[in-house]
Amino acid sequence: MKLSCISRRFLYTKQNPLIMSTDYLREAYIAQLAVKRASLLTCKVSEEHLNEQSIDKSDSSPVTVGDFGAQAIIIKSILSNFPNDEVVGEEDSNLIKEKKIDDLIFKYVNEIQNLDSINNENLNIIENSNDLCDTIDKGNSQGGQKGRIWALDPIDGTKGFLRGDQYAVCLALIVDGDVKVGVIGCPNLPHDLRKENSPKGGLFTAIKGHGSYFQDLKSDITFPLNKSSPINVHNDYDLSKARVLEGVEKAHSSHSLQNLIKEKLNIKQPSVNLDSQAKYCALSKGDAEIYLRLPKDPNYREKIWDHAAGFLLVNESGGKVTDIYGNLLKFDYGRTLNSQGVIAASNNVHSSVIDAIKSIIGENGENLKEFC
């Protein structure tokens, strides 16, 4: 369906009994197509075991052919539809040029962009390896308070990707500092984390003011969202039975502080450890109830691409996402947030979690250093 003619009118989605204004619906649709295409590339890289090979960036974090290829695919798709927008992307092409891996990455990108299984009509293609590097480098926006800015993490949880565990392809549209659209592809995430042998692969979509949705990553993407089902956080439960989502990497969140908070809240259930924004996805569909991310380094500032899509997804699912002091995350500061840590939970328990944190680290974080 050609979308350029559809603007600001009202649509009825067949499966979801919901009248939707079409504000940002087209952006969400293009973002879904782009994230799905990039997710397929990451799966291909995994199937060929190329995910097990990584290069270290200057901050010692790993990057793979999958990260670069996914960033190229998504930026090309976004900017060919919205040429005046900016992109804050995690990667740049310096290492590609240094390690001379542009042809290798282009080979994967080209294979994926020629698949028939994706709606190609609305997405443009990367022409060659020069175009690949130029496109990746268009993710160099500095972010900020004004304009339409996409925050892109082509592979969030690269360490999970290297292990063959959870990772997520994450894209959000921020308009004048406000997150309007969030789309996350999670190729390895079970549809229901609480069930064994649940099928894997989810595409999560949120539009500000219009809720959040889940669909099988393998299913067709249709306009507008009519293959997706609405999702909600789990709201009605006893806090002591809450399942807490935590990262896998001990360097990204203080595990000692996580344990003290759970003790304080009398939570006895084992935690669920997942890499990446898959944690926000699990929370949004009620597979777990609380997400804790506590600073390990008091000077570390979270990156906007690591949280923008998940923030909107949880908010639109009826939850709340703040820093460790209970302040809403703000995405208008630049490439990073200007706050510490992340606490996400359903509205009914969020304040109890923040109270528990403050009782341990102090109202203004006086004791936080002890746990870093």
Ligand X SMILES: Nc1ncnc2c1ncn2[C@@H]1O[C@H](COP(=O)(O)O)[C@@H](OP(=O)(O)O)[C@H]1O
300 part of the interface to ligand X, by CB under 6 A? yes
* 251-262 per-residue burial string, b: 16 or more CB within 10 A, e: under 16: ebbbbebbbbbb
Concatenating the DSSP letter of every residue in 295-337 gives -SSTT---BGGGTHHHHHHHHHTTEEEE-TTSPBP---SSSB-
289 part of the interface to ligand X, by CB under 6 A? no
156 part of the interface to ligand X, by CB under 6 A? yes
- Comparing CA positions, the residue from 238, 329, 229, 332 lying closest to residue 277 is 329
Smallest gap from Cβ 25 to ligand X, in A, equals 28
* 96-116 per-residue burial string, b: 16 or more CB within 10 A, e: under 16: beeeebbebbbebbbebbeee
Q: Where are the beta strands (DSSP E) in 235-293?
A: 244-246, 272-273, 290-293
Residues whose CB falls within 8 Å of the CB of residue 114, separated by 6 or more in sequence, listed in order = none
How many residues lie near ligand X (CB under 6 A)? 18
Total residue count of the chain as it appears in this document: 372
Among residues 13, 22, 135, 158, the one annotated as catalytic is 158
x/- track of binding to ligand X for residues 261-280 (CB under 6 A): --------------xx----
DSSP state of 287: S
Residue number, 63 or 207, with CB nearest to ligand X: 63
Question: Quick one: how far is CA 45 from the chain centroid?
Answer: 19
Among 153, 287, 289, 316, binds ligand X (CB under 6 A): 153
Residues 81-100 that bind ligand X (CB under 6 A): 90
323 part of the interface to ligand X, by CB under 6 A? no
Q: Is 64 a catalytic residue?
A: no
Smallest gap from Cβ 93 to ligand X, in A, equals 17
Q: Is 222 a catalytic residue?
A: no
Concatenating the DSSP letter of every residue in 223-237 gives TTSTT-EE-----SS
Residue number, 131 or 249, with CB nearest to ligand X: 249
- Comparing CA positions, the residue from 50, 87, 51, 53 lying closest to residue 72 is 87
- Specify the stretch interacting with ligand X by CB under 6 A; choose among 46-54, 128-136, 156-164, 207-215: 156-164
DSSP state of 35: H
State how far the Cα of 73 lies from the Cα of 123, in Å rounded to an integer.
9
Among 66, 190, 211, 247, binds ligand X (CB under 6 A): 247
- Specify the stretch interacting with ligand X by CB under 6 A; choose among 47-55, 196-204, 208-216, 296-304: 296-304
Smallest gap from Cβ 251 to ligand X, in A, equals 6
- Specify the stretch interacting with ligand X by CB under 6 A; choose among 15-23, 41-49, 294-302, 312-320: 294-302
- Specify the stretch interacting with ligand X by CB under 6 A; choose among 21-29, 71-79, 157-165, 346-354: 157-165
x/- track of binding to ligand X for residues 32-71 (CB under 6 A): -----------------------------x----------
Smallest gap from Cβ 34 to ligand X, in A, equals 17
Name residue, tokens 């990367």: 126
- Specify the stretch interacting with ligand X by CB under 6 A; choose among 40-48, 134-142, 155-163, 194-202: 155-163
Residues whose CB falls within 8 Å of the CB of residue 293, separated by 6 or more in sequence, listed in order = 246, 247, 252, 253, 302, 341, 342, 343
- Comparing CA positions, the residue from 285, 279, 264, 277 lying closest to residue 361 is 264
Among residues 22, 64, 67, 323, the one annotated as catalytic is 67
Among 240, 251, 263, 362, binds ligand X (CB under 6 A): 251
User: Is residue 118 marked as binding?
Assistant: no
State how far the Cα of 228 lies from the Cα of 223, in Å rounded to an integer.
10
Annotated binding site: 90, 153, 155-156, 306
**Which residues of this chain interact with ligand X, rule CB under 6 A?**
61, 90, 153, 156-158, 160, 247, 249, 251-252, 275-276, 296-297, 300, 303, 306
Annotated binding site for Mg(2+): 90, 153, 155-156, 306
Residues labelled as active-site residues = 67, 158
